[in-house]
Amino acid sequence: MTETKTKAGTDQRLLPLLEHLARVGRRAFEGTLEPGGLRPRHLIALKLLSDQGPASQQALADSLSLDPSNVVGLLNELEERQLITRRRDSADRRRHIVELSPRGQSELCDAYEGLRQIDDGLLRALSRKERAVLYDLLVRAVGANTPPCDIPEESATARSEAANKR
């Protein structure tokens, strides 16, 4: 890996750099969207469902780090566009299971092609190997702060209570 000219130490702050890249990327992405098209929050939910399969609404809320009432609104938007389906959980009629629809999978693939092009422009200063390392590091960082989508609701609650005691 190419040696960087920045010095390691406490003066390095990643958050402002990540925020700047995210803002530039978000603007580029939103510029490519059709009016009323998928938004970043839609993509994240669809990607979770694509990668991890069906999940309860509560588990999805935990994975998205959103209040359950906000997730209901998000899912209503996705369901209205026929990108997801919701059904009652046969094991617990109080729970809804959310699943990606074939149309949702198709729109997700199209959106990710657009994202690939934006990534190429945004990260053109990095080699493929450096991008792969950055991706792996970000996945690790996100994974450390986001529960998996398919965890049982009881585990999420217990984990949340344990985190609050720290």
pLDDT, tens digit (0-9, with 9 covering 90-100), for 127-149: 999 999 998 998 888 876 654 44
Distance CA 29, CA 39 (A): 9
List residues bridging with 85 in a β-sheet.
99
Question: Can you tell me the mean pLDDT for 60-71?
Answer: 87
φ and ψ of 96, to 5 deg = -110, 140
Three-state DSSP at 126 gives coil
Judge contact between 81 and 74, C-beta under 8 A.
no
In whole angstroms, what is the distance from residue 64 CA to residue 48 CA? 9
Supply the pLDDT for residue 28. Answer: 87
**Is residue 1 predicted with pLDDT exceeding 60?**
no
Q: For residues 118 and 22, is the Cβ–Cβ distance under 8 A?
A: no
- Averaged pLDDT, 21-26: 90
CA–CA separation, 84 vs 46, rounded Å? 8
Confidence of residue 124 (pLDDT cuts 50, 70, 90): very high
Judge contact between 39 and 33, C-beta under 8 A: yes
